[in-house]
């Protein structure tokens, strides 16, 4: 096998999994089923707000009912889902229900993978996941769970682990084990800093690369050594970079969602934001009346009462800002379930400085 770049500019020896392919395309719904976990790994990137919180999130949307998951999958154009946590198997019944829900709604071709530390992956638990229709199982360094899962046919089983700087010997031994066990893959994640792991990681001397805000120095170099070893083996190994997560997985998912939910007057930027104009005012009815008098019709504007503004195209905002006595701006909006302004640029007023 050769070490080559993927479509997401990550690195792989051999073919990457279907789950990874869909992640790169932004076609995987991130289904966070619980923040509870029975381990506390020092490098875990889960946020402080989600850690040990028994909440369900579909992408950036808090799930209150099963219909929320289906709706979010549709809005982001998902062709699959990645079930994560916390430790998902602490809520096994919930996981099984969600797998069946998504398969029933979108069909058997809707690809679902699951992350687990493997400590709870007994033979009975694995049979339930397999029977529900799980396509791909990613286990965190639990060899016993890998062996048990491989007894069941028809799904892909492998490991997904962080690429800790200097751990190439251990990772190469892991490749040997997985190859002998006839597992299907090994995924290496570039080690990253997060709000919760920064203190323990800095304590043992880790630092960021000069060209990244989050990626840990030395993780990539370790991955390259492991990939060169993997090239002479039969086990596919994928090094998922911090850049892949940000520049491909997240950006493509945002772009897909933005294209599916955008109003007629909104444009989607290359980064995946919704570009539009906005008119801020207390009396929104007066703004609507003025905009209609200026020639805009119903489909060319939208009322956002919760933000105290009327939205329209960026082109119309720039044009009318010179003519009407209201506060006009151009907005780049992050297109998640609870949308927020990534960037707001005033056109005809100076923003108040607090």
| pLDDT per position as a tens digit, 148-184 | 999 999 999 999 999 999 999 999 999 999 999 999 9
pLDDT for position 170: 97
The pLDDT of residue 162 is: 96
Domain membership flag for residue 105: yes
CA proximity to 81, closest of 38, 23, 131, 122? 23
pLDDT band (50, 70, 90) for residue 1: confident
Q: Share the mean pLDDT of the chain.
A: 96
239 and 122 share one domain: yes
Give the dihedral sign, CA 183/189/194/200: positive
Quick check: is 205 in a domain? yes
Residues 290, 240 within the same domain: no
Give exposure, 143-163, as e/b (b: 16+ Cβ within 10 Å): eebbebbbebeebbbbbbbbb
How confident is the model over 35-46, as a mean pLDDT? 96
**Domain that includes residue 287, residue range:** 264-346
On whether residue 199 sits in a domain, the answer given is: yes
The structural domain count of the chain equals: 2
Tell me, yes or no, whether 182 and 121 share the same domain: yes
Does residue 101 lie within any of the structural domains? yes
Residue 348 makes CB contacts below 8 A (sequence gap 6+) with 321, 322, 327, 328
Domain stops at, among 258, 284, 302:
258
What pLDDT does 353 receive?
64
**Residue 351 confidence (pLDDT):** 81
Residues 160, 280 share a domain: no
Whether residue 192 lies inside any domain: the answer is: yes
Q: Are residues 222 and 300 in the same domain?
A: no
Q: Answer yes or no: do 109 and 21 share one domain.
A: yes
The H or E element spanning position 341 is: strand 340-346
* Together in a domain, 287 and 254: no
Tokens matching residue 326 = 């209201």
| Boundary of a domain, candidates 204, 233, 258 | 258
Among residues 178, 102, 168, 188, the alpha carbon closest in space to that of 145 is found at 178
Average pLDDT over residues 275-282: 96
Average pLDDT over residues 252-263: 96
For residue 143, the surrounding DSSP H or E stretch is helix 143-149
Average pLDDT over residues 96-119: 98
Residue 352 covered by a domain: no
% of the chain at pLDDT higher than 90: 96
Q: Give the CATH number, domain containing residue 198.
A: 3.20.20.70
User: Which pLDDT tens digit goes with each residue over 286-333?
Assistant: 999 999 999 999 899 999 999 999 999 999 999 999 999 999 999 999
**pLDDT bucket at 217, cuts 50 / 70 / 90:** very high
Q: What is the distance between the alpha carbons of residues 144 and 182, in angstroms, rounded to a whole number?
A: 13
With CA atoms as reference, report the closest residue to 201 among 160, 165, 225, 170.
165
Region 236-247 average pLDDT: 94
For residue 352, what pLDDT band results from cuts at 50, 70 and 90? confident
Closest by CA position to 167, among listed 183, 185, 189, 151:
189
Residues 194 and 302 in one domain: no
Domain shared by 192 and 294, yes or no: no
- Residue 289: the pLDDT is 96
Report the phi/psi class of residue 304: left, alpha or beta, with left for phi > 0 and alpha for psi in -120 to 50: beta
205, 271: one domain = no
pLDDT tens sequence across 19-34 = 999 999 999 999 999 9
Q: What is the pLDDT of residue 354?
A: 56
Note whether residue 354 is domain-resident. Answer: no
Query: Are 175 and 289 in the same domain?
Result: no
Are residues 243 and 299 both part of a single domain? no
Pairing of strands 156-163, 185-190: parallel
Residue 351 inside a domain? The answer is no
């Amino acid at each position: 096998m050769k070490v080559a770049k993927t479509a997401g500019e990550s690195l792989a020896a051999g073919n990457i999994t279907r789950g990874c392919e869909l992640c790169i395309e932004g076609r995987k719904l991130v289904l966070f089923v619980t923040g509870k976990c029975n381990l506390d790994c020092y490098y875990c990137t889960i946020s402080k707000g989600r850690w040990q919180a028994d909440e369900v999130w579909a992408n950036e949307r808090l799930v209150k009912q099963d219909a929320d998951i289906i709706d979010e999958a549709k809005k982001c154009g998902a062709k699959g889902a990645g079930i994560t946590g916390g430790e998902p198997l602490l809520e096994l019944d919930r996981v099984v229900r969600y797998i069946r829900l998504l398969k029933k709604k979108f069909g058997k071709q809707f690809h679902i993978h699951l992350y687990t530390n493997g400590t709870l992956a007994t033979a009975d638990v694995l049979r339930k996941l397999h029977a529900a229709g799980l396509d791909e199982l990613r286990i965190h360094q639990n060899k016993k769970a890998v062996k048990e899962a491989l007894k069941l046919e028809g799904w892909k089983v492998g490991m997904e682990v962080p690429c800790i700087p200097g751990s190439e010997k251990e990772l190469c031994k892991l490749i040997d084990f997985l190859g002998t066990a006839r597992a299907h893959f090994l995924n290496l994640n570039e080690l990253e800093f997060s709000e919760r792991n920064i203190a323990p990681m800095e304590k043992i001397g880790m630092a960021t690369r000069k060209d990244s805000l989050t990626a840990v120095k030395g993780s990539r170099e370790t991955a390259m050594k492991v990939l060169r070893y993997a090239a002479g083996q039969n086990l596919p190994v994928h090094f998922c970079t911090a850049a892949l997560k940000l520049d491909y997985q997240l950006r493509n998912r945002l772009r897909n969602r933005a294209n599916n939910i955008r109003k007629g007057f909104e444009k989607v930027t290359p980064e995946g934001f919704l570009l539009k104009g906005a008119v801020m005012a207390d009396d929104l009815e007066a703004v609507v009346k003025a905009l209609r008098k200026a020639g805009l019709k119903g489909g060319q504007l939208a009322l956002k009462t919760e933000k105290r503004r009327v939205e329209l195209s960026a082109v119309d905002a720039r044009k009318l800002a010179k003519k009407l006595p209201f506060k006009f701006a151009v907005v780049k909006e992050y297109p998640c379930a609870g949308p927020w302004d990534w960037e707001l640029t005033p056109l005809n007023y100076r923003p108040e400085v607090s």
